């Protein structure tokens, strides 16, 4: 049998069979829109007759150098015949013409793809026939000019402004502002003018042959797959470029046939909050694009109940049916033609992070989906977004009191954003990539603005509503966004906006609140959201906890951080970097004295002064983590990091010498000498970590004493302490054999002194490839491993973790030399293989070896999945990422059951 390139909406069974019964396969074949139109047809939802040209046809067309594959066009013609039978109309017939729309539809919804072409089939003859039929010349010529305009811009690539400018001029001439005030003759005149525009721009006439229209529209959709904006969008949304798009040909139904007609878009639940209410807009006597474009003021969907009660009741019913069928919140488009309701699209609705979480939890509670599905449906990035900063309420109130509030629009995508204004997407991208925080401000956005929207911290538009392009895209990518702030008047030529009597020029600061829909001039400080108020998230994470195997610990250096991490659900502290405590103002001079001491005695004195500080810190952390393990890492960085900058001291010495100042000169010269003597060409590979401990054991001995004194003191107060002492940067087991017994002895001595025994472990960080390769030996001494993947990545790649990103690494990622930044996501093949080897070898020696990760990767969902796969016990990440990690760990466990 010849290849089947075209499926009628009623042929979904056949489509399903051809892909082996799998719904994802049907979506791949027909595209999301086509698959759902067919599915709605199958379950008895009223869909206008039509058909889909497959994504395979698109790929075949593009591969063959823009040639329809054999048999495709014939199948399209045959499908048109069937639609003619179903509708009782004829394509191109002057008396009873069939009109169709042509819509692109890839597997995944892509706002960056080709727009729709409506009213295909109209020409000078059929238009006359339509007038006879409808007795409504105004309606017919409005439809005809729309076809010429859409065909001209979408299919033939003429800029839409060429048409819109003429339309605006005519309205101005007539002294009117609304399209609805134009007469039949006006539309007729515009149709002719629009045809002239086509001729002028393209050198040929607007095609009168309906089949030619259909053919060119089909080709245009195919070609749009590799249009710049589609490619950009796919790159940003990580959609594969080889999927192709379907082409949907759908019988036209008209929402602009009078006041019994209308059209709208709706979500089956509120896409901003997730509340279980219908949410959407509609217009009576209008076509779909009028609603989306925001030209006329739309009405709220529930008002339709009063306007057209029967159609509304049926609509509510269908929305419920679709949600039950798809078990997902739907985003639908509908048209009512003379009282009859038609569904033109349904798809899973895009939503804010907050809504995603609420909908998942509600649907599980409603019994529509399982808890496991609810957990899988929320993306780790949703959790991240929800915990985004918000404006400090007091500061915001004060800004409002000072008259800095410029406008209020629709709260399209939540979160607070502060940045400088850029009035176009290219500039927003340029500034954003250059490291500036940018708020992109536009009257409205179009698909080819997406690159600027992604580079911006926030988006503000003066037009459009909750379902406008800006709103949909911003929500998807978690960019705070306010749309339809109609008090803002934007002057693109003068590069400034005016609102509430304030002029804001390009490059000046703006703060927008995507949660409340407000915009302010200037910078408003932001605050972190309150996790404990996010009850749906807390519920969802409690379900996630039931599925995950990995524990989630946190990296915290101070008692407050530890307490916060625990609040977020951390089950332990995986890394407490003790040296951070050395940098505090009153401690640093003591640390420096300790480093510079010329005698053992002098050093011991300084260490003795430091001990109470460290003990106090540890007591606080143990208390905050009562009952949970706390890993404390012994000093890691090279000592020069605690001393002043060599250059600064040198400059000071020179200045003193030049000015002949003697006061303090000798001390500074001594300091300079000490710093110079510690100089290493390659300090990250120098005397740091365990090496430093072996050469200068006094510091770690003090630290271990402080840890155990703190632990015993807390234990005596009834706190359940579980200290785990971590030795950094081990490369050879002999290093541990030298230092660890000395430290264990101190631990035992302190416990004996304090008369209390606490549970403890000594272990090591795995940060050096050699430690991975010899992990069986290392585990003979170390009682636990924690991967320091920051250093392990640095050492494995040989990339300096401090310099690589600023020099070559981002280019590597952009050019695809590396698939991702290995300092963010674990390089599974390289670094990951070493980790896997370390786990296996380590456990071969010590079967109950506890293994975790405390590098930055511990909070990265992809890396967390890898940690799950190699059987680690836990991941440890920054406190704010703990909720993300809890969810990501559950995703990994469910996916790899």
Residues forming the active site = 469, 854
CA-closest candidate to residue 178, choices 166, 189, 193, 167 = 167
Nearest to 728 by CA among 662, 681, 679, 684: 684
Closest CA to 350 of 369, 328, 319, 383: 328
For the chain, what's the residue count? 897
Binding segment (CB under 6 A) for ligand PEP, from list 219-227, 768-776, 784-792, 813-821: 784-792
> Smallest distance from the beta carbon of 875 to Mg ion, in angstroms?
16
Q: DSSP state, 856?
A: G
Cβ atoms of 158 and 197 closer than 8 Å: yes
Region near ligand PEP per CB under 6 A, out of 222-230, 599-607, 700-708, 787-795: 787-795
Among 31, 855, 859, 861, binds ligand PEP (CB under 6 A): 855
Using the minimum distance from each CB to ligand PEP, give the nearer residue, 463 or 791.
Answer: 791
What Rg value do the Cα atoms of the chain yield, rounded?
33
**Cα separation of 525 and 388, whole Å?**
13
Q: Contacting ligand PEP (CB under 6 A), which of 142, 328, 333, 636?
A: 636
Q: Could you give the string, one character per residue 525-564, with x where binding to ligand PEP holds by CB under 6 A and - elsewhere?
A: ----------------------------------------
Shortest spacing between CB 788 and Mg ion, in angstroms: 4
d(CA 639, CA 665): 23
Residue 854 touches ligand PEP, criterion: CB under 6 A: yes
Closest CB to Mg ion among residues 735, 791 = 791
Residue 788 touches Mg ion, criterion: CB under 5 A: yes
Cβ partners under 8 Å of residue 192, min gap 6 = none
Q: Counting contacts by CB under 6 A, is residue 790 touching ligand PEP?
A: yes
State how far the Cα of 599 lies from the Cα of 155, in Å rounded to an integer. Answer: 84
By CB atoms closer than 10 A (0-12, 13-18, 19+), residue 493 is exposed
Distance (Å, whole) CA 464 – CA 462: 7
CB 96 within 8 A of CB 89: yes
**Residue 855: contacted member of ligand PEP, Mg ion, none (CB under 5 to 8 Å, by partner type):** ligand PEP
**Do 509 and 522 contact (CB within 8 A), yes or no?**
yes
Which residue from 791, 827, 860, 865 is in contact with ligand PEP, where contact means CB under 6 A?
A: 791
Q: Residue 137: which of Mg ion, ligand PEP, none does it interact with, CB under 5 to 8 A by kind?
A: none
Q: Does 856 bind Mg ion (CB under 5 A)?
A: no
**Residue 788 binds ligand PEP, judged by CB under 6 A:** yes
Place of tokens 């529209």: 217
For the beta sheet containing 330-337, the strands, ordered from the edge strand earlier in sequence to the opposite edge, are 299-300, 279-284, 262-267, 330-337, 340-348
For residues 459 and 639, which CB has a smaller minimum distance to ligand PEP in the complex? Answer: 639
Among 76, 767, 777, 860, binds ligand PEP (CB under 6 A): 767
Do residues 248 and 52 touch, judged by C-beta distance below 8 A? Answer: yes
CB of 790 to ligand PEP, least distance (A): 3
Minimal distance, residue 570 CB to ligand PEP, in Å:
16
Q: Which tokens belong to 273?
A: 């909050």
Contacts with ligand PEP by CB under 6 A: the residue count is 10
What minimum distance in Å lies between the beta carbon of 618 and ligand PEP?
A: 18
Of positions 429, 579, 724, 791, contacts Mg ion by CB under 5 A: 791
833 binds ligand PEP (CB under 6 A): no
Closest to 287 measured CA to CA, from 244, 307, 258, 319: 258
Separate counts of helices (H) and strands (E) for the chain: 38, 33
**Binding segment for ligand PEP among 330-338, 493-501, 695-703, 785-793 (CB under 6 A)?**
785-793
- What are the tokens at 193? 């003018």
Nearest to Mg ion of 15, 766 (CB atom): 766
Work out how close the CB of 867 gets to Mg ion at its nearest, in angstroms, rounded to a whole number: 17
Cβ of residue 793: shortest distance to ligand PEP, in angstroms?
Answer: 8
**Does 826 help bind ligand PEP (rule: CB under 6 A)?**
no
Q: How far is the CB of 657 from ligand PEP (least distance, A)?
A: 38
Kindly state the tokens that stand for 353: 């992070």
Among 248, 256, 314, 789, binds ligand PEP (CB under 6 A): 789
The secondary element (H helix, E strand) that includes residue 377 is helix 371-377
Q: Which among 535, 526, 537 is positioned nearest to 886, based on CA atoms?
A: 537
**Is position 852 an interface residue for Mg ion (rule: CB under 5 A)?**
no
577 lies in the site for ligand PEP, by CB under 6 A: yes
In the complex, minimum distance from the CB of residue 776 to Mg ion, in angstroms, rounded to a whole number: 22
Tokens encoding 866: 């890898």
Binding segment toward ligand PEP, per CB under 6 A, in 104-112, 461-469, 623-631, 786-794? 786-794
**Closest by Cα among 256, 434, 280, 267 to 348:** 267
- 854 touches, from ligand PEP, Mg ion, none (C-beta below 5 to 8 Å by class): ligand PEP
Closest CB to Mg ion among 758 and 853? Answer: 853
Is the Cβ–Cβ distance between 480 and 460 less than 8 Å? no
Q: Tell me which of ligand PEP, Mg ion, none is bound by residue 557, counting a contact when its beta carbon lies within the kind-specific cut-off of 5 to 8 angstroms.
A: none
Q: Residue with structure tokens 């036209």?
A: 252
**Cα end-to-end span (Å), the chain:** 41
Shortest Cβ 788–ligand PEP spacing (Å): 3
Stretch of 277-285, 544-552, 594-602, 763-771 lying at the interface with Mg ion (CB under 5 A): 763-771
Stretch that binds ligand PEP, among 453-461, 782-790, 812-820, 867-875 (CB under 6 A): 782-790
DSSP state of 227: S
Cα 311 from Cα 264, distance rounded (Å): 12
Q: Which does 561 bind (CB under 5 to 8 A by kind): Mg ion, ligand PEP, none?
A: none
Is 821 a binding residue for ligand PEP by CB under 6 A? The answer is no
* Binding at 789: pick from Mg ion, ligand PEP, none (beta carbon under 5-8 Å per type): ligand PEP
As a dihedral over the C-alpha atoms of residue 319, residue 323, residue 328, residue 334, rounded to 10 degrees, the angle is: -30
Distance from C-alpha of 69 to C-alpha of 85, rounded to nearest angstrom: 26
Binding residues (CB under 5 A) for Mg ion: these are 767, 788, 791
Binding residues (CB under 6 A) for ligand PEP: these are 575, 577, 636, 767, 788-791, 854-855
């Amino acid at each position: 049998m010849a290849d089947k390139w075209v499926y009628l909406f009623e042929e979904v069974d056949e489509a399903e069979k051809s892909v082996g019964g799998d719904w994802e396969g049907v979506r791949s074949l027909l595209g999301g829109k086509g698959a759902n139109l067919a599915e709605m047809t199958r379950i008895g939802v009223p869909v206008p007759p039509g058909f889909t040209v497959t994504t395979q046809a698109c790929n075949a067309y593009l591969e063959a150098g823009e040639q329809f594959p054999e048999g495709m066009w014939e199948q399209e013609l045959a499908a048109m015949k069937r639609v003619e039978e179903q509708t009782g109309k004829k394509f191109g017939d002057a008396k009873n013409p069939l009109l169709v729309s042509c819509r692109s539809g890839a597997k995944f919804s892509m706002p960056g793809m080709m727009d729709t072409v409506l009213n295909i089939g109209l020409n000078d003859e059929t238009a006359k026939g339509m007038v006879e039929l409808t007795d409504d010349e105004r309606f017919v010529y409005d439809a005809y000019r729309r076809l010429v305009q859409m065909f001209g811009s979408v299919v033939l690539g003429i800029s839409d402004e060429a048409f819109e400018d003429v339309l605006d001029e005519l309205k101005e001439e007539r002294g009117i502002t609304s399209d609805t005030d134009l007469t039949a003759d006006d539309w007729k005149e515009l149709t002719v003018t629009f045809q002239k525009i086509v001729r002028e721009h393209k050198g040929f006439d607007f095609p009168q042959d309906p089949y030619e229209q259909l053919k060119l529209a089909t080709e245009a959709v195919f070609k749009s797959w590799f249009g710049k904006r589609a490619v950009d969008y796919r790159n940003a949304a990580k959609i594969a470029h080889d999927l192709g798009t379907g082409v949907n040909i759908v019988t036209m139904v008209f929402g602009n046939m009078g006041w019994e007609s209308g059209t709208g878009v709706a979500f089956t639940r509120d896409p901003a909050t997730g509340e279980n209410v219908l949410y959407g807009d509609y217009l009576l006597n209008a076509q779909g694009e009028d609603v989306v474009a925001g030209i006329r003021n739309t009405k709220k969907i529930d008002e339709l109940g009063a306007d057209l009660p029967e159609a509304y009741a049926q609509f509510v019913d269908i929305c419920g049916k679709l949600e039950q069928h798809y078990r997902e919140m739907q985003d639908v488009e509908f048209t009512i033609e003379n009282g009859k309701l038609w569904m033109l699209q349904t798809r899973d609705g895009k939503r804010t992070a907050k809504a995603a979480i609420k909908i998942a939890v509600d649907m599980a509670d409603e019994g529509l989906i399982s808890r496991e599905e609810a957990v899988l449906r929320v993306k780790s990035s949703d959790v991240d977004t929800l915990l985004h900063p918000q404006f400090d309420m007091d500061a915001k109130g004060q800004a409002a009191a000072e008259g800095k509030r410029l406008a209020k629009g629709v709260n399209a995508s939540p979160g607070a954003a502060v940045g400088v204004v850029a009035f176009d997407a290219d500039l927003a991208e340029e500034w954003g990539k250059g490291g500036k925080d940018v708020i992109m401000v536009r009257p409205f956005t179009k698909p080819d603005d997406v690159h600027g929207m992604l580079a911006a911290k926030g988006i503000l538009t003066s037009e459009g509503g909750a379902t406008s392009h800006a709103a949909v895209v911003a929500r998807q990518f978690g960019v705070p966004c306010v749309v339809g702030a109609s008090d803002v008047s934007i002057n693109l030529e003068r590069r400034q906006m005016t609102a509430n009597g304030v002029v804001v020029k390009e490059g000046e600061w703006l703060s927008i609140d995507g949660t409340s829909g407000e915009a302010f001039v200037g910078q408003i400080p932001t605050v972190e959201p309150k996790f404990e108020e996010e009850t749906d998230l807390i519920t969802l994470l409690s379900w996630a906890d039931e599925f995950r195997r990995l524990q989630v610990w946190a990296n915290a250096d101070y008692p407050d951080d530890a307490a916060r991490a625990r609040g977020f659900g951390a089950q332990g502290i995986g890394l407490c970097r003790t040296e951070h405590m050395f940098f505090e103002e009153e401690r640093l001079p003591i640390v420096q004295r300790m480093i510079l001491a010329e005698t053992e005695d002098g050093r011991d004195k300084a260490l003795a002064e430091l001990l109470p500080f460290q003990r106090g810190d540890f007591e606080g952390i143990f208390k905050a983590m009562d009952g949970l393990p706390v890993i404390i890492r012994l000093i890691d960085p090279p000592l020069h990091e605690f001393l002043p900058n060599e250059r600064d001291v040198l400059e000071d010495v020179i200045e003193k010498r030049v000015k002949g100042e003697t006061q303090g000169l000798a001390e500074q010269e001594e300091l300079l000498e000490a710093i110079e003597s510690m100089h290493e060409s390659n300090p990250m590979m120098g005397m740091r970590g365990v090496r430093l401990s072996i050469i200068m054991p006094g510091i770690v001995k003090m630290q271990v004493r402080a840890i155990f004194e703190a632990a015993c003191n807390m234990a005596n107060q009834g706190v359940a302490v579980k200290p785990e002492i971590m030795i950094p940067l081990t490369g050879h087991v002999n290093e541990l054999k030298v230092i660890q017994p000395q430290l264990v002895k101190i631990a035992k001595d302190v416990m004996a002194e304090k008369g209390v025994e606490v549970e403890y472990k000594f272990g090591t960080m795995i940060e050096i490839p050699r430690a991975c390769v010899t992990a069986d030996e290392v585990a003979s001494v170390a009682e636990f491993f924690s991967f320091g993947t920051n250093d392990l990545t640095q050492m494995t790649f040989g990339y300096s973790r401090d310099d690589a990103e600023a020099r070559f690494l981002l280019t590597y990622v952009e050019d695809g030399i590396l698939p991702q930044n290995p300092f963010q996501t674990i390089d599974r093949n390289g670094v990951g293989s070493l980790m896997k080897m370390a786990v296996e070898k380590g456990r071969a020696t010590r079967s109950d070896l506890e293994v975790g990760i405390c590098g930055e990767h511990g909070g990265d969902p992809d890396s967390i999945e890898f940690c799950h796969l190699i059987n680690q016990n836990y991941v440890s990440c920054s406190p704010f990422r703990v909720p993300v990690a809890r969810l990501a760990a559950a995703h990994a466990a469910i996916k790899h059951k």
